[in-house]
Structure 1
Amino acid sequence: MTHDIETAPASDAPRKQRGRRRRALRITGGIAGGLVLLGVVAVAGIVIKVVTYTDPYVQKVADAGYEQKTADVNEVAFSYVEGPDNGEPLVLLHAQLMNWFDYSRVMPDLAENYHVYVVDYQGHGETTYPDDYEMSANNIGADLGAFLDEVVGEPAYVSGNSSGGLLTLWLAANRGDMVKAIVLEDPPLFASEYPRIKETVAIKAFSSSEAAVQEGETDDFLNFWLDANKGFFNKYVAPGSADAIKGLVAAYRAANPGEPTEIGIIPDDTVKLLFQGLEEYDPRFGAAFYEGTWNEGFDHAEALAAVECPVLLMHANWSYNEEGLLDGAMDQDDADLAMSYLQDGTYVKVDSDHVVHLEHPDEFVEILDGFLLGEQ
């Protein structure tokens, strides 16, 4: 016996739910795909912006009349940039790890009142020297003194930042016949002498130089430094930015072979211009600080006491970190001690990080002019 079984019509609710789920999946997938696409577009946009970037101060420096030159002095071929003759000679010595272009933000203004020479001292920029050149204050200072003799040709004002400040002090102490007055822009007086240097944050950067020399990684120090100092970029750019920056460096180099690396999207000028300096830097310079040989025969106290010309000591911000290391060039005791040795010293405290002429270029020029030219 057969039974006719009436089949009840299926409910619309499950079908509607399945439809909503499919639509939701399509929408979610569309959003995810769109976000991926937007991410790809955003990354591509950043890369294009990076590889096509030209620092505007390249043109500003050229418009101010500066020309890049080379001078053979002793066994060194100094690379330097010279401005128009609009006043007394002013020699600028950049910070360690940088090159002449780190003064670009102040060079146009300084060209109005001085005959400016910005010098890449040994270990930096395009300056060349023998492979066995000794990286020490006495050796580098002696050659810079010869540069004053043979290129500048008359007593000059000299201003130096960081290690450039130490070399400025060396010149004033040992070549006073060619130095009229000096500006020491946050130099690491006493703090960079061995073994005190081991109690500073700077020792971490110098350890990278030492490692590069020991491992033979000196041909591409920029990439070596990027790998060894990721914490620097996490602090001064953004957390986790080091790997992305390394990729941008590779992209810039591929698109601009032979050109100095520029990562223009980084807002901090000091960090931005660091890439150029690191690309041409000889880590033997920093290794000499790490080993304590850079200051051998160059006692900071004795040098300060020997200076007869007027000296302006510009002191930037400093602190001690959680490890008890000095984060800065000098603490207040160092600055006070330095002033106590000077015969004709002026002290200025500035609210700035280490490279004052990049963080506060207008204030730097104002302070420099006020001291050298008497313009208040």
Structure 2
Amino acid sequence: MGCCGVCGNEAKLSYTVYGSDKPPLVLVHAQGTDSRSFDKVIKPLSRDFSIYAVDCFGHGKSPHEPSLYNIVSIGDALVRLIESAVGEPCALLGHSSGGLIAAYAAGKTDLCELLILEDPPFFSSQAERRKNTFNYIDLSSVCHKYLQDAVEENFVLYYFENQYAWNFFPDNARQKVRPKSIEAAKKFLKRHPERDLKVPFWPKSALAAFVGMGNYDPRFGETFYDDSFHCGIPHEEILTKIDCPTLFMKAKTEWSDDGILFAALSEEDLTRCLGLISDCELARFDCGHGIHVEQPRQFVQVIKRKRATLGHARI
């Protein structure tokens, strides 16, 4: 395992390398977490790939500079990483917002031979559509309020206290569980300020959202609240520029009773994506948004199977 930054005189992304002398696979995490989000699948993937696990700007060890919190700055830095640090044909995988970034980068470098999109929020996260998504009413809105109110409290604790997930509890249960869980979170963060949040009785899949959140800049979340992340680039434009084989991983699609999309993208959005990417295979997973966290074995199997079907000497 090695760790360093990238590349030339422009903004550099931090990344960690696992393994060597195997075909490269670049991993791009979702917002709010960092490259350690993929820890559960690093070992099985590294049997077939050399892994480059990236921290996006505003996350982990990469620069925390708000002017870089957009798809162009991160995507162009990712292209520089691939062309300078990886330096050979590779597979590129992005989860959630990382999928938007990976798709943008794939359209700008000839070194991406396989693109893997893990439940990316195409179309749903852009323009007015974004306001009817779980991310907007949850992380984006919490970030916005945290910044607007100039809250001095630790952001991880603030997010835990104010996350939308409390609405999934029945009223009576929420009144009992919420204060006890918040108190447990306060105690944990006071004792272990450098560690990822852990709270008794919270499922691992829910706590996965807090991996790396201690090194997350909520100003990144603000760019999804005000729609500045996309730099005005229509998602159609990003998708039509992808010319390498693509694997699209889709998690369950769920809606709230009042029309909020509790998923990265709708079935209609998915159909549009598949129609715009020239060579795209769909893989469905019966789980939530974090496929690599909730179904790691199936996640790895699907990637390896796709790689085998390509028949390339490297990828």
Matched residue, 2:81? 147
2:117 to 168, 172, 184: 184
Matched residue, 2:313? none
1:243 to 179, 188, 192: 179
Check whether the contact 2:64–2:217 (CA below 8 A) recurs between aligned residues.
no
1:312 to 240, 247, 251: 247
Check whether the contact 1:356–1:364 (CA below 8 A) recurs between aligned residues.
yes
1:347 to 282, 291, 302: 282
Identical amino acids, percent of aligned pairs:
27
User: Structure 1 stretch 235-244 or stretch 323-332: which is displaced more?
Assistant: 235-244
Question: Aligned to 2:259, what secondary structure does the other structure show?
Answer: coil
Alpha-carbon separation, structure 1, partners of 2:226 and 2:150: 17
1:103 to 38, 56, 59: 38
Cα distance change on mapping 1:199 and 1:292 into 2, 3 Å: same
Question: Aligned to 2:122, what secondary structure does the other structure show?
Answer: coil
Question: Aligned to 2:117, what secondary structure does the other structure show?
Answer: strand
Matched residue, 2:47? 112
Check whether the contact 1:81–1:118 (CA below 8 A) recurs between aligned residues.
yes
Matched residue, 1:370? 305
- Cα distance, 1:188 vs structure 2: 0.5
Structure 1 unaligned spans of 5+: 1-65
Alpha-carbon separation, structure 2, partners of 1:247 and 1:127: 31
| Residue pairs, 1:292-303, within 5 angstroms | 292-303=227-238
Residues 1:79 and 2:14 aligned together: yes
- Cα distance, 1:330 vs structure 2: 1.2
1:144 aligned partner, one-letter code: L
> CA-to-partner distance for each residue in 1:246-266, whole Å, 9 max, x for gaps?
322332233334x22341644
Alpha-carbon separation, structure 2, partners of 1:76 and 1:220: 27
User: Structure 1 stretch 106-115 or stretch 142-151: which is displaced more?
Assistant: 142-151
- Cα distance, 1:73 vs structure 2: 5.5
Instruction: Tell me the number of residue pairs that the alignment of Structure 1 and Structure 2 aligns.
Output: 307
Structure 2 unaligned spans of 5+: 311-315
Matched residue, 1:203? 136
Matched residue, 1:40? none
> CA-to-partner distance for each residue in 1:178-234, whole Å, 9 max, x for gaps?
2111010110111011111112122112111112222233772112212322x4146
Cα distance change on mapping 1:106 and 1:139 into 2, 3 Å: same
Matched residue, 1:170? 104
- Cα distance, 1:136 vs structure 2: 1.2
> CA-to-partner distance for each residue in 1:353-373, whole Å, 9 max, x for gaps?
101000000000000111123
Question: Aligned to 1:159, what secondary structure does the other structure show?
Answer: strand
Check whether the contact 2:119–2:264 (CA below 8 A) recurs between aligned residues.
yes
Cα distance change on mapping 1:179 and 1:219 into 2, 3 Å: farther
> CA-to-partner distance for each residue in 1:29-74, whole Å, 9 max, x for gaps?
xxxxxxxxxxxxxxxxxxxxxxxxxxxxxxxxxxxxx344444654
Check whether the contact 1:262–1:273 (CA below 8 A) recurs between aligned residues.
no
Check whether the contact 2:37–2:211 (CA below 8 A) recurs between aligned residues.
no
1:166 aligned partner, one-letter code: L
> CA-to-partner distance for each residue in 1:56-111, whole Å, 9 max, x for gaps?
xxxxxxxxxx3444446545343322101141110011111111111111111011
Cα distance change on mapping 1:219 and 1:350 into 2, 3 Å: same
1:143 aligned partner, one-letter code: A
1:88 aligned partner, one-letter code: P
Alpha-carbon separation, structure 1, partners of 2:258 and 2:84: 46
Alpha-carbon separation, structure 2, partners of 1:246 and 1:68: 35
Check whether the contact 1:233–1:241 (CA below 8 A) recurs between aligned residues.
no
Cα distance change on mapping 1:233 and 1:127 into 2, 3 Å: farther
Alpha-carbon separation, structure 1, partners of 2:182 and 2:157: 7
Report 1 or 2 for greater relative contact order, CA contacts < 8 Å, sequence distance ≥ 6: 2
> CA-to-partner distance for each residue in 1:308-365, whole Å, 9 max, x for gaps?
1001111110122111111101111111111011111111121111010000000000
User: Structure 1 stretch 96-105 or stretch 183-192: which is displaced more?
Assistant: 96-105
